[in-house]
Amino acid sequence: MTELLKISLPDGSVREMEQGSTPADVAAAIGPGLAKAAIAAKVDGELVDLSRPFTGDAQLALVTSRDEEEALELARHDYAHVLAEAVQALWPGTQITFGPATDDGFYYDVMAPSSREPFSMDDLPAIEEKMREIIKADKPLRREVWSRQQLIDKWQAEGETFKAEWAAELPEGEELTVYWSGEDWLDMCRGPHLPSTGKLDPQAFKLMRVAGAYWRGDQKNAQLTRIYGTGWLNKKQLNAYLTRLEEAAKRDHRKLGREMDLFHLQEEAHGSVFWHPHGYVIWRELEAYMRRAIDDAGYNEVKTPQVMDARQWEQSGHWGKYRENMFVIPDEVPNVEDEGPIVSDDADWMALKPMNCPAHVLIFRQGIKSYRDLPLRIYENGCCHRNEPHGALHGLMRVRQFTQDDAHIFCREDQIVDEVRAFCELADRVYKDFGFTYSIKLALRPEKRFGSDADWDKAEEELRNAVREAGLATEEYGWEELPGEGAFYAPKLEWHLTDAIGRTWQVGTIQSDRVLPERLDATYVGEDGGKHRPVMLHRAIFGSYERFIGILIEHFAGRLPVWLAPVQAVVATIVSDADGYAMEVVEKLKAAGIRVESDLRNEKINYKVREHSHAKVPHLLVVGMREAEEGTVAVRTLGQQHQKVMPLDEAIAMLKTEASAPDLR
């Protein structure tokens, strides 16, 4: 008699199933409702197709659309395959390469047949229509195991040169799989997939754009077309996503930066920011705010060189790990008319600093440090340069020159938890001042790392304990641990801010580092009279001023809190006869510390209101002859429909209150 398989379910029950049974058979045995709802399965923790036979006794969890994370990943993977099938159905001879799921959708890289131009936005409606046709056909998605040679032969016979090249590099002994869509189209894929195309919602996806892409990401290879789409479980989710995109476009910091005259970027300094007067006001207010925070918290502010000798970067480990991202300078700049290589092999190299930590160690090493001197908190608004890829640059969010609110705390082993806890409490106050909620994540040791396992065990537990003591390792703060995502020298706590439209931004961090003090020979004299290594805590709250300002602009949709607004009030006249009174109002506002401008132009007041509202000025103080006679102003607050007439002194008091920066004490 054939022995039955024991399939354990999440509720603790066990189903006995015949050899060759599948998760779909278990779902059917439980009931028709589950059989219809199931879309995939987790067998011993691995996500697999419903039709995948069990190979022995197993733990089984059936996946339905309620398991949104897994369901979305499956759906987006399937949308990518349907996209590739649709393109090849419409234009035979199209070559396909790869098409993964992404965080909000999917894409597929394809090469148009030689008979036509590369695909463009104009092709997307036809592709979408064909995709819906394939989905409605409810074609079964079936897995098969093939040999490497079978794959090579198929792709070569069909002129799929990219697929053939990839298949030729697959290991011979590994199980290689393909998935059929119906009986007439297949792609090689590890899976898993939904049971059929009909499990997708034909109204829950949209093709978004096309872009150029190189085969295998190498610009020396053939250029392909990447077709991007977004895919969801239902139309409601799609519509919500498109609404978020529309709102994000309105909040785009590059667009608002132009409208508010804050900054600009241009090719002559690609990746660096030209700050205009209004934009630099925001920078200065943030800088002053952060200085108050670090002064109260016992930090010592320093300034370190922009350029340091390569030997320093080699000793720190950055030269070997990070050189391709550094701006490097030879000791001599040759005459441009000279022949031969620009840089000789025996040149002494310098580099613009990509981070501040090695320079702070050099400050720590000046003079003998005692255990009584610790903790020593060194802070710098440090300007750094990183040679980011041209295509990765994005407004203020990713630049080549940036300034960090960077600090390094040199402390004893017994001080680590208290220092990290104090930083957690400071970061909490800062983020709440800007109206952000956040989650905290602990990034744990990566596979390739410096330091002993014992040191990593100690560092990770110290960070855990600090967050617990700060009361932040809770569900409310989204506490989560991320295996393998730490830096090569240290685990780190990460702060992920949530903005006004639900997007998350990883900003603050603190890292517990025992590696750099060792590499750069940082020591202090302990209570026993011997030399000891300090632990170095790398920390930042804003991350970088550029990126944090970009996040703030988008979070507030340009309507910054009054204390941060470049122009806090504009005094605008209705008639020119009120110009004299308007300037009196301006002078009194300036004397009260308000950033104010006047608008005495011979324009209608509605035009002035629209213009200053567009520039996101928080308050418009309108004055005419009546206001001049009565000593009042008509206050129009940004975002409100009605104005409020009040005595000038009352308006000044209101503005002074709103313009006061948060008190960090």
- The pLDDT score that the predictor gives to residue 479 is 87
Tell the residue number behind the tokens 């008639």, with chain if given: 575
- Is the pLDDT at 427 greater than 50? The verdict is yes
Report the run of H or E that residue 498 belongs to, with start and end: strand 492-498
How is 568-606 classified by DSSP, letter by letter? -EEEEESSGGGHHHHHHHHHHHHHTT--EEEE--SS-HH
Round to whole Å and give the CA distance between 497 and 510: 15
What's the token pair of residue 449?
Answer: 């790392």
Other CB atoms within a 10 A radius of the CB of residue 610 amount to: 11
Coil, strand, or helix at residue 438?
strand
DSSP for residue 196: B
For this structure, is 357 an active site residue? yes
pLDDT tens for residues 141-172? 999 999 989 999 999 999 999 999 999 988 87
Q: For residue 557, give the amino acid letter.
A: A
CA distance 102 to 119: 21
| Assigned token pair, 118 | 């590369």
Give tens-digit pLDDT for 267-282: 899 899 999 999 999 9
- Domain 267-304+356-548 CATH assignment equals 2.60.40.3500: no
Query: Can you give the pLDDT at residue 347?
Result: 55
- DSSP label at residue 117: P
Active site residue 492: yes
* Average pLDDT of the chain, as a whole number: 92
Q: Are 177 and 148 in contact (CB under 8 A)?
A: no
For range 47-66, the mean pLDDT: 93
Residue 131 is inside which H or E element, if any?
helix 124-136
Q: Which of 253, 386, 464, 612 is catalytic?
A: 386
Active site residue 595: no
Question: How far, in Å, CA of 347 to CA of 154, rounded?
Answer: 54
DSSP 8-state class, residue 369 = P
pLDDT score recorded for residue 2: 65
Judged on CB neighbours under 10 Å (0-12, 13-18, 19+), 86 is buried
**411 catalytically annotated:** no
Burial class (CB in 10 A: 0-12, 13-18, 19+), 290: buried
Q: Are 177 and 189 in contact (CB under 8 A)?
A: yes
Domain-wise residue ranges, the chain: 5-64, 69-246, 267-304+356-548, 569-658
Instruction: Grade residue 600 by pLDDT with cuts at 50, 70 and 90.
Output: very high
Domain 569-658 CATH assignment equals 3.40.50.800: yes
Using alpha carbons, select from 505, 284, 540 the residue that is nearest to residue 405: 540
Residue pair 422/297 in contact by the 8 Å Cβ criterion: yes
CA distances from residue 213 to 97, 143, 188 in whole angstroms, order as listed: 11, 29, 20
Average pLDDT for residues 579-593, to the nearest whole number? 96
The active-site residue, picked from 189, 357, 384, 411, is 357
Confidence at residue 380, expressed as pLDDT on a 0 to 100 scale: 97
Give the pLDDT score at 664.
65
The residue ranking higher by pLDDT, 342 or 10, is: 10
**473, 464 Cβ separation under 8 angstroms:** yes
Backbone dihedral region for residue 435 (phi beyond 0: left; psi -120 to 50: alpha; all else: beta): left
Any catalytic annotation for residue 538? yes
Average pLDDT for 86-98? 95
pLDDT given for residue 424 in this prediction: 93
Beta bridge partners of 525: 370, 531
Cβ within 8 Å of residue 631, ≥6 positions away: 647, 648
CB contact set of 145 (below 8 Å; sequence gap of 6+): 175, 176, 177
Give yes or no for a contact between 270 and 524, defined as CB atoms under 8 angstroms apart.
Answer: no
DSSP 527: T
**pLDDT tops 50 at residue 336:** no
Residues composing the chain: 665
CA distances (Å), origin 146, targets 69, 173, 188, 193, 365: 30, 11, 9, 17, 62
Residue 646 to residues 151, 187, 630, 632: CA-CA distances in angstroms?
A: 80, 71, 10, 5
Mean pLDDT of 173-177: 82
Name, in order, each residue with C-beta under 8 angstroms of 389's C-beta and a sequence gap of 6 or more: none
> Which position among 76, 139, 408, 532 bears the catalytic label?
408
Q: In what order do the strands lie in the sheet with 437-443?
A: 300-301, 376-385, 401-411, 535-540, 504-513, 492-498, 437-443, 480-482
Beta strands 328-330 and 596-599: pairing type? unpaired
Residue among 492, 595, 612, 636 flagged as catalytic = 492
Catalytic residue among 404, 405, 428, 441: 404
User: What superfamily in CATH does domain 69-246 come from?
Assistant: Threonyl-trna Synthetase; Chain A, domain 2 (3.30.980.10)
Residue 363 in this model has a pLDDT that exceeds 60: yes
Going by the DSSP 8-state scheme, the letter that residue 638 receives in this structure is: T
What's the CATH class of domain 5-64?
Answer: alpha beta
pLDDT digits (tens, 9 = 90+) for 340-352: 443 444 457 889 9
Cα of first residue to Cα of last residue in the chain, in angstroms, is 77
pLDDT digits (tens, 9 = 90+) for 609-650: 999 999 999 999 999 999 999 999 999 999 888 899 999 999
Q: Please determine, for residue 334, whether its predicted confidence score (pLDDT) is greater than 50.
A: no
Candidate list 406, 499, 513, 599, residue with the active-site label:
406
Task: Pull the structure tokens for residue 182.
Answer: 């119906």
User: What is the reported pLDDT for 314?
Assistant: 84
78 flagged as catalytic = no
The pLDDT score that the predictor gives to residue 341 is: 42
- Residue 415 falls in the annotated catalytic set: no
- Is the pLDDT assigned to residue 251 strictly greater than 80? yes
* Structure-block tokens of residue 124: 């997307």
Closest CA to 253 of 457, 497, 558, 532: 558
Cα–Cα dist 251/500, whole Å: 10
Catalytic residue among 76, 385, 538, 539: 538
The Cα 421–Cα 471 span in angstroms is: 9
Q: For residue range 474-487, what is the model confidence (pLDDT) as tens digits?
A: 777 788 899 998 88
What pLDDT does 215 receive?
93
Which residue, among 586, 588, 552, 546, has the nearest Cα to 567 in the 3D structure? 586
In this model, does residue 490 exceed pLDDT 60? Answer: yes
* CA pair distance 364, 379, nearest whole angstrom: 12
Model pTM above 0.95: no
Pair 613, 626: CB distance under 8 Å:
no
Pick 219 or 595 by higher pLDDT.
595
Query: Quick one: 522 exposed, middle or buried, by C-beta within 10 A (0-12, 13-18, 19+)?
Result: buried
Do the Cβ atoms of 333 and 315 come closer than 8 Å? no
Cβ atoms of 568 and 267 within 8 Å: the answer is no
> 606 falls in which pLDDT band (50, 70, 90)?
very high
Q: Which two tokens stand for residue 263?
A: 């900054």
Who wins on pLDDT, 515 or 85? Answer: 85
Q: By the 8 A CB rule, do 179 and 186 touch?
A: yes
* pLDDT given for residue 474 in this prediction: 79
Task: Work out the pLDDT band at 63, boundaries 50, 70, 90.
Answer: very high
The least confident of 60-64, 489-493, 545-549 is: 489-493
